[in-house]
Chains A and B, each alone.
Chain A
Amino acid sequence: MSGRAATRVEIRACAKTYAGGARALFPTSLVVEPGEVLALLGPSGCGKTTLLRVVAGLVASDPGGSVRFNDDDVTSRPIETRGVGMVFQHYALFPQMTVEGNIGYGLRVRGVSAGDRQRRVGELVDLMRLGGLEQRRPAQLSGGQKQRVALARAVALEPRVLLLDEPLTALDAKLKVALREELAELLRRLSITAIHVTHDQEEAMAIADRLAVMRAGTIVQTGAAEALYRDPADPFVAEFLGRVNRIERTADDKAAGIVRIGSTVLRCPPALAAHRELLARPEDIAVQAAPAGDVEAATVVQRVFLGDRVHLRVQGCAGAPLLVDVASDAAHAVGDRLRLTIDPARLMRAAPQNG
Chain B
Amino acid sequence: MTEGSVRRSPALFAITIAVSVFTVAPMLVSVAAGLVENYSVGARSGYTLRWLDEVWSQYGSTAWHSIALALACVACAVVVGVPCAYALARSRSRAARAFEELITLPVAVPGLATALALILAYGEWRDFRQSFAFVFVGHAVFTLPFMVRTVAAAFAHDDLVALEEAARSLGAGFVQRFLGVLVPAVLPSIVAGALMVFTLSIGEFNLTWMLHTPLTRTLPVGLADSYASARLEIGSAYTLVFFGVVLPALWLMQWLATFFGPRPVRATR
Contact = CB atoms under 8 A, between A and B. Distances in A.
Contacts of B4: 58
Contacts, number: 4
Contacts of B3: 58-60
A59 B1 CA distance: 8
Contacts of A60: 3
Nearest to B1: A18
Interface in B1-29: 3-4
Interface extent on B, as a size class? under 10
A58 B4 CA distance: 7
Interface in A292-333: none
Main secondary structure of the interface of B (DSSP, over half): loop
A136 B4 CA distance: 29
Interface in A29-79: 58-60
A58 B2 CA distance: 10
Contacts of A58: 3-4
Nearest to A59: B3
A59 B4 CA distance: 9
Nearest to A57: B3
A74 B3 CA distance: 17
B9 to A, nearest CB: 13
A46 B61 CA distance: 63
Nearest to A60: B3
B23 to A, nearest CB: 27
B1 to A, nearest CB: 9
Nearest to A80: B5
A69 to B, nearest CB: 20
B237 to A, nearest CB: 43
Contacts of A59: 3
Nearest to A18: B1
Nearest to B8: A78
B3 to A, nearest CB: 6
Nearest to B2: A19
A4 to B, nearest CB: 30
A143 B4 CA distance: 27
B147 to A, nearest CB: 36
B75 to A, nearest CB: 45
Interface string B96-124: 00000000000000000000000000000
A326 B90 CA distance: 56
Nearest to B4: A58
A60 B3 CA distance: 8
A59 B2 CA distance: 9
Interface in A147-176: none
A187 B188 CA distance: 53
A60 B7 CA distance: 13
A170 to B, nearest CB: 21
B211 to A, nearest CB: 48
A59 B7 CA distance: 12
B228 to A, nearest CB: 51
A60 to B, nearest CB: 7
A279 B121 CA distance: 88
A250 to B, nearest CB: 51
Interface in A231-286: none
A40 B26 CA distance: 55
A58 B5 CA distance: 10
A297 B172 CA distance: 58
B8 to A, nearest CB: 8
A60 B4 CA distance: 11
A132 B148 CA distance: 49
B10 to A, nearest CB: 16
A70 B125 CA distance: 90
4 contacts: A58-B3, A58-B4, A59-B3, A60-B3
Interface of B: 3-4
Interface of A: 58-60
Closest 4 CB pairs of A and B: A59-B3, A58-B3, A60-B3, A58-B4
